[in-house]
Amino acid sequence: MALELELISPIEVAKDFALAVQEYTLLSAQSLANFFRRPLYMADMLQQADLIGVGSLPIVVLTGLSVGALLALNAASTLQRFGSVTLIGQLVSLGMVTELGPLITGLMVAGRNASGMASELGSMIVTEQIDAMRALGTDPTKKLITPRIGATAFMLFFLTIIADLLGLIGGYGVAHLLFGVDTNQYWTSVWQILVFRDVFTGLIKPVLFGFIIATVGCYYGMSTRGGTQGVGRSTTQAVVASSVLILIVDFFVTKLIFAIFGYR
Amino acid sequence: MPAPTLPSENQTATAVAPSGIAIEFDNVSIAFDEKVVLQNISFQLAHGETKAVFGVAGSGKSTMLKLAMGLLRPDSGRIHVLGEEITHMTEQELFELRRRVGIVFQESALFDSLKVYENVAFRLMEEGIAAEEIERRVREVLRFVELERTYDMFPSELSGGMRRRVAIARAIITEPEVILYDSPTGGLDPVTSNTIVELIMKQRDVYKTSALMVTHRLQDAFTMASHQFDKATNKVVALPKGQLCEVPMSFLILRDAKVIFNGDAHQLATSRDEYIREYIS
């Protein structure tokens, strides 16, 4: 049996991409507008907050601790050469609060929840449950997507704070136990290096990342075609797209904040 | 044939007089990519009438139901449902209209993460009805489809036939004026199929609900054309010979994206069209 490879025109690919961007934008805008329309489905939002927030807690605790510890370990080897190992606290603090805390938490939650949303909504699409919901007079974007966006953005904010704190504790463990940095010295340097801009950067990002995770996961779920294989495809695409988008947005948000508040 | 017990009589309050048009398709066409699924389809479904829709697999029967529900939009033509043209309605406007129309999907489409009572009560919960009232109505409608014992079960714990009956319960709980059935007996054993056909006949004859029923099983439609539900005895009884057209039942056959037959049982039985004769033989 000869294997025939179908060649896809680059114009078609560009058109499909433009269409996907348009549909994603419309879905996101509609879901955001739903926050100002009744009903709000608070019970669904709380249920999602529990699934996303409490459910992601173990993975965020573990990654936060590990990243903080690794950051301290790597920084120490360089700082030791200059005799400045006491600066570990500053490095861990800045790294965790402004960048790694939000980013790692965002990527972890994207892996766990964007895939979950895409597979759940994708399964509902292929088994006609979304059509059934529309037929029963309920708007699926209002009932399914808006609560997920609200819950993810809200919970990622707090998960990031937890990850930051655990990262600092992980860094302290390494600094104190392996490099003999004094407890008081570590926590003082952690606290003193942070300015408003750092905390603002670290707390605005998780809200944006939460929005990206939920909208991308829901978009791929709602655009699922082709049965169970399609559900698998949507799940993978949701994780890849949300992770890449988080990295891209992270860069531009950091750049924008530097432009607004200026460099250190 | 024994039939399920009737729920309380208040459901008859929505019965609509068998006059006027419930659904009208006017030159409706739709294509997916290059494939034309329906082309210039025109027909009317009267209030209180049940129309059985036949056609080979892929002939556009389910698409027709989704068009009638506004879940799909036609490429051309107009569709009227309960006196309103739905073709250019926004999704928000359609949500309002859909509260007056029920649908039973081919694979039931029950929400698998919700229990049976939550599935059946879904629309009532959305409308913010009191919990006691919801429970009363859910139990009543589950009794109607003889599945009250499944109240607390999940859809995955039910057989295919039971799921189909729960889907019917979900569709009729708000006492809709029109119900759309997509292969309600498809893939079921004869006993379960008969139970479901009886439920559909009861909706037609007792509550005068208009219905568009997609099916592959000619025998179901012929049973519906030759029997009626007797409210007094709570049973399905055969019509005397010569009265086959007394019940509001009609047939529509699709072929190659077009309507090739639209008429009653007598017209179908006497059709000279070779394809139709072969189809019904």
List, in order of start, the domains of chain B with CATH numbers: 19-100+178-280 (3.40.50.300), 110-175 (no CATH)
CB-nearest to A127 from B92, B94, B109 is B109
Please determine, for residue B9, whether its predicted confidence score (pLDDT) is greater than 80: no
Confidence band of A170 (pLDDT split at 50, 70, 90)? very high
Contact A134 B95 (CB under 8 A): yes
pLDDT of residue B106: 87
Q: Write out residues 166-205 of A within 8 Å (CB-CB) of B.
A: none
Please tell me whether residue B76 adopts helix, strand or coil conformation. strand
pLDDT of residue B5: 43
Average pLDDT of the segment spanning A108-133: 94
User: For residue A204, is pLDDT > 60?
Assistant: yes
Q: Residue B280 — φ and ψ, nearest 5°?
A: -90, -5
Check residue B267 and give its pLDDT: 84
Whether B156 and chain A come into contact, CB under 8 Å, resolves to no
Q: Tell me what the mean pLDDT of segment B245-264 comes to.
A: 87
Are A132 and B95 an interchain contact pair (Cβ–Cβ within 8 Å)? no
Among A116-120, A247-251, B239-243, B268-272, which stretch is predicted with the lowest mean pLDDT?
A: B239-243
Q: Choose from B1-10, B107-116, B214-223 the range with maximum mean pLDDT.
A: B107-116
Ranking B205-219, B236-250, B263-277 by mean pLDDT, the lowest is B236-250
Q: Can you tell me the distance from the alpha carbon of A117 to that of A14, in angstroms, rounded to the nearest whole number? A: 26
Minimal CA separation from B236 to chain A, in Å: 30
**Which of the two residues, A83 and B67, has the higher pLDDT score?**
B67
pLDDT of B2 > 50? The answer is no
Predicted pLDDT at A38: 84
pLDDT per residue as tens digits for the range B92-120: 889 888 889 999 998 889 999 999 999 99
**What are B214's strand-pairing partners?**
B53, B182
Q: What is the pLDDT of residue A96?
A: 94
Q: What is the mean pLDDT of chain A?
A: 92
Query: In chain B, at which residue ranges do the beta strands (DSSP E only) sit?
Result: 21-32, 35-46, 50-54, 76-81, 84-85, 101-104, 178-182, 210-214, 227-230, 235-238, 249-255, 258-263
Q: State the CB neighbour count (10 A cutoff) for residue A218.
A: 28
Least confident of A174-178, B17-21, B69-73, B96-100: B17-21
- Tell me the per-residue pLDDT of B25-69, one tens digit each, with 9 for 90 and over: 999 999 998 889 999 999 999 999 999 999 888 888 999 999 999
Q: In 10 A of CB A37, how many CB atoms?
A: 12
Task: Compute the distance between CA of residue B219 and CA of residue B93 in angstroms, rounded to an integer.
Answer: 38
Asked if the bond preceding A39 is cis, omega within 30° of 0, the reply is yes
Q: Which residue of A has its CA nearest to B103?
A: A135
Residue B143 CA to residue B223 CA, distance in Å, equals: 24
**Whether the Cβ atoms of residue A92 and residue A191 lie closer than 8 Å to each other:** no
* Pairwise CB contact (< 8 Å): B105 & A128: yes
Provide the pLDDT for residue B92: 86
Average pLDDT over residues A19-44: 92
Instruction: Give the per-residue pLDDT at A2.
Output: 53
Q: Nearest Cβ partner of A137 from B109, B111, B123? A: B123
Interface contact B96, partner A, CB < 8 A:
yes
The answer to whether B251 touches B51, Cβ cutoff 8 Å, is yes
Mutation choice for B interface testing from A119, A121, A128, A142 by most B CBs within 10 A: A128
Contact B42, B28 (CB under 8 A): yes
Q: What is the pTM of this model?
A: 0.84
pLDDT at B227: 86
Question: Which has the higher per-residue pLDDT, B17 or B178?
Answer: B178
CA B224 remoteness from chain centre? 13
- What is the DSSP code string of B218-259? HHHHHHHHHEEEETTTTEEEEPPTT-TTSSSEEEEEEETTEE
Q: Which residues contact A147 (CB under 8 A, 6 or more apart)?
A: A41, A44, A45, A47, A48
B170 contact A CB<8A: yes
pLDDT for the residue A213: 96
Encode pLDDT of A235-260 as tens digits. 999 999 999 999 999 999 999 998 98
Residues A76-98: what's their mean pLDDT? 88
Inform me whether the pLDDT recorded for A218 exceeds 90: yes
ipTM of the complex: 0.83
Residue A87 has pLDDT above 90, yes or no: no
Kindly state the average pLDDT of the residues B249-257.
90
Optimal mutation site among B97, B107, B177, interface A, most CBs of chain A within 10 A: B107
User: Do the beta carbons of residue B252 and residue B42 sit within 8 Å?
Assistant: no
Judged by CB atoms closer than 8 Å, whether chains meet at B170 and A136 is answered as: yes
Integer CA distances (angstroms), A192 to A47, A186, B45, in order = 38, 10, 77
Residue B15 has pLDDT above 70, yes or no: no
B164 has a pLDDT exceeding 70: yes
Report the gap between the CA of B167 and the closest CA in chain A (Å).
10
Confidence of residue A61 (pLDDT cuts 50, 70, 90): very high
CA-to-CA distance for A152 and A207, rounded, in angstroms? Answer: 8
Residue B253, beta-bridge partner list: B54, B261
Geometric angle at alpha carbon A72, from A67 and A76, rounded to 5°:
150
CB of B137 within 8 A of CB of B99? no
